[in-house]
Amino acid sequence: MVNRRQFLSLTAATGVGVLLPACHKQSAPVLPVKDANGHYLWQNWSGSEHAYPSQRVAPNNIDELKQVIASAPTPIRCIGAGHSFNGQCTTDGTLLALDNFSGLVGHNNLEYLATVKAGTRLQQLGKLLEDVGQDMVNIPDVNKQTLAGAIATGTHGSGHGLPALHGRVQSFRLLTLQGQEMNCSASENAEIYHAALVGLGAFGIVTEYTLENWPLAHTERQVTMLPLEQMLTEWPAQYAKNRNAEFFYIPFTGLAMRILHNQTDKAVTARGEDKDMESLMDLKKLRDYVSWSPSLRRRVANMVADNHGTEYAVDYGWKLLASERSVRFHEMEYHLPLDAQLDALKEVIAVIETQRPDVFFPIEARVIKGDDRAWLSPFYQRDTGSIAVHAYYEDDYKFLYELVEPILKKHGGRPHWGKLHSLTEKDFVQLYPQWQQVKAIRQQLDPQGKLVNPYLKRVWGV
């Protein structure tokens, strides 16, 4: 992003070290680590959701897993890595971790298939695949999630010709609440495959996936700072000619950071130390010190960005596509018809820059190829442009619902299943043509609602 030392010195040089009162800081309640029943606190990654589950289990094998679903307190929620920003993992019943269902089951390098256990973390998966000569060229920006959590929520990377993770799932193995194991693919239990692939952990317990990967090859990463207007003008051409294209707009600066990834024959060039998070905290300082003067804020940022140039790195894709995200935040992301993306983005920027000077987290824009495999895919039957807006974990994030979400809804957006949104079943019926069929299949597989928590009751309308 920006050169940290320059940024700090320039900020100091402005001579305006007046720390504004932290009026947008949200005082998070201090939660007891144990409740009256002796159950320990659980919180999601961002800290926005919490619960005191009566049981936490990590079964070692399929027989133990069958015992859990037969007798554990409900609701039973598969936790993944707990990275979802909304309440889908929250439960006072059973938190089910598939941490012991991790690793590679097998692979086939004729078709570049790999069967992977559901609890495998994306961070580990890259190395496992590298060892067998395969790669996933469209992994998300954050790689702390489990494979099952990422797929069940429609998690994605960016690429005009690349579907989200679930778009490369050939089949998966589902353990139903009745204790039956079934393979699901486009040719076997097809309706369940289409309904439960992006299934929010509400159809049964998925224990493994067979992924369609790519041959292992080097990827080149290019990161460039440029004016927002130029970025917006060039965006359609950029995503059309690059394998993975995305950009971040830095609020109140007029600057965008473009990130491109393409296959290359070049030798490995180290990515170097990741300074993104330090730069992010510098943006916070800039917010803290000069948010009273948007013009000064913009001038300081532009002075620094002038010297940025383009950064290059070459390595395997899994090492470059994801970045260390060690600063916690809240996030809302919607997936819009591709043609609506830039108009919506301009509206979002305008509303933030006129009403919320406290926002400093970059706004992210990505593209995702439409798919037909998952009926609840936010990319179902349409090429998509996504917009993600973030708020620092200590800051008030109600503006995401009050200011940002109405714009994204108005442009026909579908919310990311793992992120913040206020939608209910009434909305989803309109957004997903197969909604009623999916709901009926879910009801058949979980007639007692053992997998449904309060958040999912709102989603499913039950």
The binding site for other proteins (CB under 8 A) comprises: 30-31, 33, 40-47, 50, 56-58, 79, 81-82, 95, 97, 99, 102, 121, 123, 144, 273-274, 277, 324, 326-328
Q: Which of 51, 58, 56, 45 is nearest to 33 (CA)?
A: 51
Task: Tell me how far apart the alpha carbons of residues 402 and 375 are, in angstroms, rounded to a whole number.
Answer: 29
- Closest separation between CB of residue 42 and other proteins, Å? 6
How is residue 312 annotated by DSSP?
Answer: E
Closest CB to other proteins among residues 65, 95: 95
- Closest separation between CB of residue 43 and other proteins, Å? 3
| Alpha-helical segments (H) within 259-360 | 276-290, 294-305, 317-320, 341-355
Task: Tell me how far apart the alpha carbons of residues 170 and 210 are, in angstroms, rounded to a whole number.
Answer: 6
Closest CB to other proteins among residues 5, 241: 5
- Closest separation between CB of residue 206 and other proteins, Å? 17
- Closest separation between CB of residue 321 and other proteins, Å? 14
Task: Tell me how far apart the alpha carbons of residues 11 and 4 are, in angstroms, rounded to a whole number.
Answer: 10
- Closest separation between CB of residue 59 and other proteins, Å? 11
367-404 core/surface letters (b: 16 or more CB in 10 A; e: else) = bbbbbebbbbbbbbebbbbbbbbbbbbbbbbebbeebb
Task: Tell me how far apart the alpha carbons of residues 102 and 82 are, in angstroms, rounded to a whole number.
Answer: 16
Name the one residue in this structure whose structure tokens are 């702390």. Answer: 144
Closest CB to other proteins among residues 31, 70: 31
Closest CB to other proteins among residues 99, 191: 99
- Closest separation between CB of residue 327 and other proteins, Å? 6
Which residues make Cβ contacts (< 8 Å) with residue 420, sequence separation at least 6?
A: 48, 85, 86, 330, 331, 332, 397, 400, 401
Closest CB to other proteins among residues 128, 226: 128
User: β-strands 169-175, 181-185: how paired?
Assistant: antiparallel
As given in the structure block, the two tokens for residue 144 are 């702390």
Closest CB to other proteins among residues 46, 219: 46
Name the one residue in this structure whose structure tokens are 């094998």. Answer: 61
- Closest separation between CB of residue 420 and other proteins, Å? 16
Closest CB to other proteins among residues 54, 422: 54
Closest CB to other proteins among residues 28, 190: 28
Q: Which of 459, 462, 451, 376 is nearest to 73 (CA)?
A: 451
Closest CB to other proteins among residues 82, 385: 82
Residue 323, exposed/middle/buried by CB under 10 A (0-12, 13-18, 19+)?
Answer: middle
